[in-house]
Amino acid sequence: MVRMPARETASGLRAVARCDDLGVTPYSDADDHLFRPYLGAGHAATLDRIAAWMTEAGMTARVDAAGNIVGRYEGRHPDAPALLIGSHVDSVRDGGRYDGMLGVMLGIETVAWFAERGHRFPFAIEVIGFGDEEGSRFPVSMLTSRAVAGVLGDQDLALADAAGVGLAEALDGFGLELARFADAARHREDVLAYVEAHIEQGPVLEAEGHALGVVSAIAAQYRFRAVVTGVAGHAGTMAMRLRHDALAAAAEMVLAVERIGGAGPEDLVATVGRMEVGPGVPNVVPGAVTFSIDVRAGVGAVRDRAADEIRVALEDIAVRRAVGLDLTLQQDLPATPCDSGLSRLMAEAVRDVTGAEPRVLVSGAGHDAMVMAHLAPVAMLFLRCRGGISHHPAEAVEVDDVQAALEAMTAFVTRFEHTWSDAGTVLTEEER
């Protein structure tokens, strides 16, 4: 773990040290592990700290209507449209310190690097730390980038967390209002592009000896909620042959999800990551089980086919075991190609730094970039992480890799500036 004084010049070391600082209470809602859900106390403390770092780097900082932290480094002229650099500040339960946060810290370092040199651009740069990418609190993910991209659905505003706290109440506790949530939306003409640096969260870069990679596309995702309804009863008196055990049925369903996920191409994955058992006591046959299903693939049609197979398999199990099954689609994120023109700039920036041809890869993990693509062209830079481990406290990065990422980000912004045209478009359609 890296610890260092806050006041240093822009560096990868400082980005890593700041992620480490934010990995414990009061920036986590748990005392013994990192858990920073959207709109929690850890989230609030984190935003205060990030706002101070943004200000120190030469930005004005604000929290938008959805709870995102936004730092703005003005261009040569006020009101210029902005290049957005961002990622997320929330974490999964018992998560790592760099998932999301490192991209936000690299955004701040990138601005600090130019500010230290007194360089202003013909556009503004904004660094954005999204409040909810993981969906750790409410049943869907990427609520806050969807607010910024202006693609919220009506049902998103009616969400409640596992403790029954509604989005309105959670926002109120954060000094925000549900009625204004959608005001976080940005106008297309104000946003030139969105760029995100993120740890790979997989093993490819490390295995192939690359510090950095360029993302060509982000895999399609579905999130479902399955509710299995059986019959609860006395665990001592209800004969086995008479049971409609919701948990035994759900267990069989989990194995079906695993089997179908494993039967396709390597990038097809299917996961049951959460389960609640009712009434959940040792001496009662389970009467109801709710569980999540996450299905992803690089190609939307592959994901869709697997989801259809899962539905059929689960319905068969429900019929055979005489239990009820209610399957609800909670989230559909289509596969998202990154912008080819911006990705070319990012590849050139990586080449500037490493001298090697960049590794180009598809992201199986979801990112705010897939939502921001509705608003503006997007590009992503990946950094190697140790063992490909992520969503786990053992998540780790090398400072040298983060320094290389900072240099690639500054090279990208420099190249972006050169590509900028007075007409206000970064790249023409033909260039994309």
Residues lying near ligand GLV in the complex (CB under 6 A): 134, 365-366
Q: Which two tokens stand for residue 385?
A: 């992480």
Which option in Mn ion, ligand GLV, none does residue 366 bind, with CB closer than 5 to 8 A by kind? ligand GLV
From candidates 40, 86, 100, 135, binder to Mn ion by CB under 5 A: 100
Match 């936000």 to its residue by tokens: 104
Which option in Mn ion, ligand GLV, none does residue 245 bind, with CB closer than 5 to 8 A by kind? none
In whole angstroms, give the CA distance from residue 428 to residue 432. Answer: 6
Name the binding residues for Zn(2+). 88, 99, 134, 198, 391
In sequence order, which residues have a C-beta less than 8 Å from that of residue 339 and are 6 or more positions away? 193, 373, 377, 378, 379, 427, 432
Match 């970039």 to its residue by tokens: 369
In sequence order, which residues have a C-beta less than 8 Å from that of residue 247 and are 6 or more positions away? 228, 230, 277, 286, 289
Residue span binding Mn ion (CB under 5 A) among the ranges 54-62, 98-106, 331-339, 423-431: 98-106
Which option in ligand GLV, Mn ion, none does residue 67 bind, with CB closer than 5 to 8 A by kind? none
In whole angstroms, give the CA distance from residue 129 to residue 6. Answer: 19
Nearer CB in complex with ligand GLV: 103/286: 103
Residue span binding Mn ion (CB under 5 A) among the ranges 93-101, 114-122, 231-239, 279-287: 93-101
Which option in Mn ion, ligand GLV, none does residue 401 bind, with CB closer than 5 to 8 A by kind? none
Match 């049951």 to its residue by tokens: 272
- Minimal distance, residue 365 CB to ligand GLV, in Å: 4
From 335, 395, 383, select the one nearest 359 (Cα to Cα). Answer: 383
In whole angstroms, give the CA distance from residue 109 to residue 412. Answer: 13
**Binding to Mn ion in span 239-268, by CB under 5 A:** none
Measured CA to CA in angstroms, residue 418 lies from 75, 412, 421, 432 at distances of 14, 10, 8, 16
Name the binding residues for allantoate. 223, 283, 296
Q: With binding defined as CB under 5 A, does residue 132 bind Mn ion?
A: no
Which option in Mn ion, ligand GLV, none does residue 323 bind, with CB closer than 5 to 8 A by kind? none
Q: How many Å from the N-terminal Cα to the C-terminal Cα in the chain?
A: 41
Q: With binding defined as CB under 5 A, does residue 286 bind Mn ion?
A: no
Nearer CB in complex with ligand GLV: 135/287: 135
Which option in ligand GLV, Mn ion, none does residue 132 bind, with CB closer than 5 to 8 A by kind? none
Which option in Mn ion, ligand GLV, none does residue 131 bind, with CB closer than 5 to 8 A by kind? none
In whole angstroms, give the CA distance from residue 131 to residue 144. Answer: 6
| Alpha helices (H) along 137-202 | 143-149, 167-173
Nearer CB in complex with ligand GLV: 176/257: 257
Number of helices and strands (H, E) in the chain? 11, 16
Q: Do you find a cis peptide bond into 279, omega within 30 degrees of 0?
A: yes
| 3-state class (DSSP) for residue 376 | coil
Q: For residue 406, how many other CB atoms are within 10 A of its CB?
A: 24
- Minimal distance, residue 227 CB to ligand GLV, in Å: 21
Which option in Mn ion, ligand GLV, none does residue 339 bind, with CB closer than 5 to 8 A by kind? none
- Minimal distance, residue 43 CB to ligand GLV, in Å: 16
Q: Are 28 and 36 in contact (CB under 8 A)?
A: yes
In whole angstroms, give the CA distance from residue 18 to residue 103. Answer: 12
Name the binding residues. 88, 99, 134, 198, 223, 283, 296, 391
Nearer CB in complex with ligand GLV: 14/198: 198
Nearer CB in complex with ligand GLV: 59/369: 369
Nearer CB in complex with ligand GLV: 80/373: 373
Nearer CB in complex with Mn ion: 12/96: 96
What single-letter DSSP state applies at residue 183? G
Nearer CB in complex with ligand GLV: 134/206: 134
Nearer CB in complex with ligand GLV: 341/366: 366
Applying CB under 5 A, the site for Mn ion has a residue count of 2
- Minimal distance, residue 366 CB to ligand GLV, in Å: 3
Q: With binding defined as CB under 5 A, does residue 99 bind Mn ion?
A: yes
In whole angstroms, give the CA distance from residue 383 to residue 206. Answer: 9
Q: Which residue is nearest to ligand GLV (CB)?
A: 366
- Minimal distance, residue 323 CB to ligand GLV, in Å: 29
226 phi, psi to nearest 5 deg: -110, 130
Residues in the site for Mn ion, rule: CB under 5 A?
A: 99-100
